[in-house]
Chains A and B, each alone.
Chain A
Amino acid sequence: MNAVAARAPELEPGTQWRAFSAVLYRDLYVTGREFHVFLAQVILQPLFLLFVFGKVLGTLNLTQAGYTDILFPGLLALTAVITALQALAFPLVAEFGWTKEIEDRLLAPMPTSFVVAEKVLFAVVRSLIATAIMIPIGILILGSIPWRWAGLPLLLVGLLLGALVGAGFGLLMGTLVRPERITLLFSLVFTPLLFTGCSQYPWPLLDQIRWFQILTAFNPMTYVSELMRGAMVPQVPHITPWKCIVVLIFSVSILLAVGMKGFYRRAIN
């Protein structure tokens, strides 16, 4: 036994950022090695929606010409939100619930907020990759997609805000839902979120079903879908883009703040 111990050294500058990058690298490394799993996880749902609503119903003349122009921007929004949500919610429920994998990160030399920030950043990266893949898939299935170079900056803003909304929801659900309730998460939250987000219909036309229009106005995904339409098919009725952006920035701030609080409650007793 040596009774004389030197005081702990000061942290080397950049220690926290090195920890942050290493954790991000681990997530990208695992995603890269299981890229086919990632693809199946994020692409399958929008792919089927695109195929059935865009291709099948269109070919059978059950939808009007031009419906795919309304649908495609909405499906990009859906993919952006859902991919980020899934990238956070399911791993978090498992990591806090039973695998406890998150402990090694919580004990890494960085503030707990960095652990959350990495999760959000990684969810955004996954979301952007998934939406980028949707574009060639859309061209392949539909033959063509509505595309405006002039709308590209707005499209990118929409995808980023959509990813952040999804990440916010994911953080919230991942820290609030107990592992035994994970199936409930699917049926009670996930599905309603999916179908009230205006991805399959433009919001202004809903004035024929007023109560549903009001309901959908409470789902932040609605504004992502509408922003996408504003960017890609401005001739279709849509909510003014700047209004969507304001609502989304507000929603993202609330979701991330509450989600962060939930994360801290789970991480530190």
Chain B
Amino acid sequence: MVPTESEGLAVEVLDLVKRYPKSPVNAVDGVSFAAYAGEVFGLLGPNGAGKTTTIGMLTTRVRPNAGVARIGGVDVIRDPVRARAQLAVVPQHSNLDRSISIRDNLIFHAAYHGVPARVREERADELLDQFGLLDRAKDKPDFFSGGQSQRVMIARALMHEPRVLFLDEPSTGLDPAARLFVWDRLRELRDSDVTLILTTHDMDEAALLADRVGIMDHGHLLALDTPEALISSLEGEGTLELTADRPADGSVVDALAAVAGVERVETVHAAIENGGPEPSPDSQPLRVRLYLTGDAALHVAPAAAVLHEHGLALQDVKLGTPTLEDVFIHLTGRSLR
């Protein structure tokens, strides 16, 4: 029996719980969410947050201790075979069949899913072309780079036209060009009514690709909304980055931290950002980032006044608006990286 509410939902998760044997805590602890057809749904969180376990339960590979998971209205625990026919998984690491060419990887995958012979041949060539792999169709996956394997696995996943496509950390380990390529293909999929569920610990990926983002930590779903809405929940909060003309001692930092509205002050070391050797802090002009509870622009004058009191001149100012990363820090009290 499927309640009528779940009609129209591509993915539905209700109070899902998973505790692995011998583990003292729940890996997933009462998670609920739903995704619509054609939606890109991102699960964002650090390693060990429970994202992959949640996906594992939805894809019939992990058995929940409690709760319900449905794909296209099909209960994945009661009817895993029918659920598998609806979904496809692109894992983080290659699981391609190494004994056969990548074209055969696509064709056999489709055969497992009952796609007729002529259709699977045509579709394989179309997808290989679309993913820029046509010239390597006959190669075995052995010597493919991470990015190429990723492309083959996405193409393979699309061979049986799944309604829901799960991607685990789709751009981890990819170089920037490969990452952009994968993102472009995923955006195209969104337009074809395929529901994408992706897990990531990459803020940019979540913000750029996902229609909605669920933030997970310690097995809990802490927040769930569009990236814009999540960020605007921190409205009025911002950052201010100040660079002075000369080096300065810690008393300036303390004075800045005492300014009304400043939550935290962080000293920025330019040379480290550029990958160079760490310079002595005394030799570098002062550069600090202020985390504020209010609008950044309103804090420029008070901060400049503090610098002036300490005999420093303000050379550069950068106003920052909150990002998903700040939302994560706000929710969990710690950084993702």
Given contacts A22-B108, A109-B113, A269-B63, contact A4 B81 (CB under 8 A): no
Q: Interface stretch among B71-79, B170-178, B180-188, B216-224?
A: B71-79
Q: 1/0 per position for A106-123, CB-CB distance to B under 8 A?
A: 111111000000000000
Main SS at interface, chain B: loop
Interface size on B, residues (CB 8 A): 50
Docked-complex contact A11 and B97, CB < 8 angstroms: no
| B283 partner residues in chain A, CB cutoff 8 A | none
Docked-complex contact A107 and B81, CB < 8 angstroms: no
Interface flag for B93 (CB, 8 Å): yes
Docked-complex contact A22 and B112, CB < 8 angstroms: yes
Docked-complex contact B114 and A3, CB < 8 angstroms: no
Q: Interface stretch among A73-81, A97-105, A180-188, A253-261?
A: A97-105
Docked-complex contact B114 and A8, CB < 8 angstroms: no
Scoring B80, B156, B211 by chain A CB atoms within 10 A of each residue's CB, the highest score goes to B80
User: Which residue of chain A has the shortest Cβ distance to B40 in the bound complex?
Assistant: A1
Interface flag for A240 (CB, 8 Å): no
Given contacts A22-B111, A100-B95, A267-B61, contact A7 B72 (CB under 8 A): yes
Cα A19 to Cα B80 in complex, Å, equals 14
| A25 partner residues in chain B, CB cutoff 8 A | 111
Q: Among A12, A34, A268, point to the contact of B63 (Cβ < 8 A).
A: A268
Given contacts A8-B163, A100-B93, A101-B98, contact A107 B84 (CB under 8 A): yes
Cα A194 to Cα B251 in complex, Å, equals 78
Q: Among B9, B100, B109, B112, point to the contact of A5 (Cβ < 8 A).
A: B9
Docked-complex contact B8 and A99, CB < 8 angstroms: no
| B81 partner residues in chain A, CB cutoff 8 A | 11, 15-16, 109-111
Interface flag for B44 (CB, 8 Å): no
Interface size on A, residues (CB 8 A): 37
Cα A107 to Cα B72 in complex, Å, equals 16
Docked-complex contact B61 and A269, CB < 8 angstroms: yes
Interface flag for B313 (CB, 8 Å): no
Docked-complex contact A5 and B85, CB < 8 angstroms: no
| B62 partner residues in chain A, CB cutoff 8 A | 268-269
Interface flag for B270 (CB, 8 Å): no
Docked-complex contact A26 and B37, CB < 8 angstroms: no
| B7 partner residues in chain A, CB cutoff 8 A | 7
| A6 partner residues in chain B, CB cutoff 8 A | 72
Query: B1-23: which have CB < 8 Å to A?
Result: 2, 7-10, 20
A26 to chain B minimum Cβ distance, whole angstroms, is 5
Interface flag for A178 (CB, 8 Å): no
A28 to chain B minimum Cβ distance, whole angstroms, is 12
Given known contacts A2-B36, A109-B114, what 16 new A-B pairs fall within 8 Å (CB)?
Answer: A5-B8, A5-B9, A5-B10, A5-B72, A7-B73, A8-B74, A10-B82, A11-B82, A19-B112, A100-B94, A103-B89, A107-B60, A107-B88, A108-B113, A111-B80, A269-B56
Question: Which 5 A/B pairs are nearest by Cβ-Cβ distance?
Answer: A8-B72, A5-B37, A100-B95, A22-B111, A108-B112
Chain A positions within 8 Å of B, measured between CB atoms, are 1-8, 10-12, 15-16, 18-19, 22-23, 25-26, 29-30, 34, 99-101, 103-111, 267-269
Pairs across A and B, CB under 8 Å, 10 listed? A1-B36, A1-B211, A4-B37, A8-B82, A99-B98, A101-B95, A101-B96, A105-B112, A107-B88, A109-B113
